[in-house]
């Protein structure tokens, strides 16, 4: 269901929504589209493994930092909420991966630096707006998880509870924490899925506004409730598997999911009717050391 994009030279075409297109059209998809997206995401990852791993290193680094904090401070009850919360921020963190998939789809051979091209996107503001929204959602989730722990165990630090993991798994209080925490966490995950499942690829590809992108994402979920629910479960399951060996597996899971999300977007959203070619930037004039510091002030002739 993906579409190809003609290009010439070094100018990569970017598809945008024309004024006559209205809101992007959402397709109905099948479960087979999910497996096809994952397969295409894996192919992108295999074609760009070093680039994807570099972009995803932040995840295991964060995981190791969290593990260190748990060892030295009383935030043990928040270890699982913090790990689960990565899924809320994942769509925003994977923007560079969408760009790599977009360029590879267009027939280019992208490099790691191409992932940073999103920083010069005319729709960077819209991506940042939804990214901030997801960060706020993440912060609220962590605060809620802390409140659930306090409501269940009181203000007793986890470090003072002998065999904390055993208490959580073998007592009624522990199971209350697990069930309520997972139930509330599911609600946060549903909200994040609804507003961002195809939002960032749409903004990157069509220069949609943040409001349009979130609206299309919610429409995609509403029209495909079963496949989207399955996609959410797939993402959650893969993130859990990737988190098990000190979060290091996320260096593979996250890029694969990022690339796959781009292909899921292609399956869900109808392509635009017009293409836009980014204007080629004029080459920057050479600067010489002898001109320093005058070359820092180009207005001086």
| pTM as predicted | 0.76
- The predicted pLDDT at position 188 comes to 93
Q: Tokens standing for 217?
A: 């994402």
Segment 40-52, tens digit of pLDDT: 999 999 988 766 6
- The predicted pLDDT at position 13 comes to 43
- The answer to whether 206 and 15 have CB atoms below 8 angstroms apart is yes
Q: Tokens standing for 197?
A: 């499942």
Segment 118-141, tens digit of pLDDT: 888 888 999 999 999 999 999 999
- The predicted pLDDT at position 249 comes to 79
Query: Tokens 């959203």 belong to which residue?
Result: 269
Which parts of the chain sit beneath pLDDT 50? Answer: 1-21, 276-281, 298-301
- C-alpha distances (whole Å) from 244 to each of 60, 95, 145, 193, 254 are 11, 24, 21, 23, 14
Query: Tokens 């748990």 belong to which residue?
Result: 70
- The predicted pLDDT at position 148 comes to 92
Q: Tokens standing for 174?
A: 């522990």
Segment 106-115, tens digit of pLDDT: 888 888 778 8
- Reference 265, options 211, 209, 221, 210; nearest CA is 221
- The predicted pLDDT at position 165 comes to 74
- The predicted pLDDT at position 71 comes to 58
The C-alpha atoms of residue 168 and residue 176 are separated, in whole angstroms, by: 9
Element (H, E) at 275: strand 274-277
- The predicted pLDDT at position 15 comes to 43
- The predicted pLDDT at position 280 comes to 47
- The predicted pLDDT at position 154 comes to 85
Q: Please, how many CA atoms are within 13 Å of residue 289, restricted to the half-sphere of its CB? A: 0
- The predicted pLDDT at position 279 comes to 42
Apex CA 113: angle with CA 107 and CA 114, to 5°?
Answer: 35
- The predicted pLDDT at position 278 comes to 45
Q: Please, how many CA atoms are within 13 Å of residue 224, restricted to the half-sphere of its CB? A: 29
- The predicted pLDDT at position 241 comes to 83
The C-alpha atoms of residue 97 and residue 118 are separated, in whole angstroms, by: 10
- C-alpha distances (whole Å) from 163 to each of 66, 76, 171 are 19, 12, 12
Which residues on adjacent β-strands are paired with residue 269?
Answer: 26
- Reference 51, options 256, 222, 266; nearest CA is 256
Omega of the bond prior to 293 within 30 degrees of 0, cis? Answer: yes
């Amino acid at each position: 269901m993906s579409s190809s994009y003609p290009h010439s030279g070094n100018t990569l075409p970017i598809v945008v929504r024309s004024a006559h297109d209205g809101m992007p059209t959402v397709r109905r998809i099948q479960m087979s589209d999910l497996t096809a997206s994952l397969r295409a995401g894996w192919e992108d990852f295999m074609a760009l493994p070093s680039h994807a791993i570099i972009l995803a290193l932040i995840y295991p680094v964060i995981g190791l930092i969290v593990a260190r904090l748990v060892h030295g401070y009383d935030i043990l009850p928040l270890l699982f909420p913090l790990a689960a919360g990565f899924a809320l921020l994942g769509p925003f963190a994977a923007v560079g991966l969408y760009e790599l998939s977009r360029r590879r789809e267009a027939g280019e051979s992208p490099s790691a630096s191409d992932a940073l091209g999103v920083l010069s996107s005319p729709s960077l503001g819209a991506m940042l707006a939804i990214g901030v929204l997801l960060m706020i959602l993440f912060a609220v989730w962590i605060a809620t998880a802390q409140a659930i722990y306090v409501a269940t165990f009181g203000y007793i630090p986890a470090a003072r509870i002998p065999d904390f993991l055993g208490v959580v798994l073998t007592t009624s209080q522990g199971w209350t924490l697990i069930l309520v925490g997972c139930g509330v966490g599911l609600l946060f995950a549903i909200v994040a899925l609804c507003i961002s499942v195809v939002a960032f690829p749409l903004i990157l590809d069509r220069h949609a506004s943040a409001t349009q992108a979130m609206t299309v994402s919610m429409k995609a979920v509403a029209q495909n409730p079963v496949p989207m629910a399955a996609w959410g479960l797939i993402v959650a399951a893969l993130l859990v598997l990737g988190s098990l060996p000190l979060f290091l597996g996320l260096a593979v899971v996250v890029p694969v999911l990022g690339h796959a999300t781009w292909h899921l977007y292609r399956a869900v959203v109808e392509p635009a009717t017009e293409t836009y070619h980014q204007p080629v930037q004029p080459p920057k004039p050479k600067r010489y050391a002898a001109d320093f510091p005058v070359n820092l002030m180009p207005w001086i002739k």
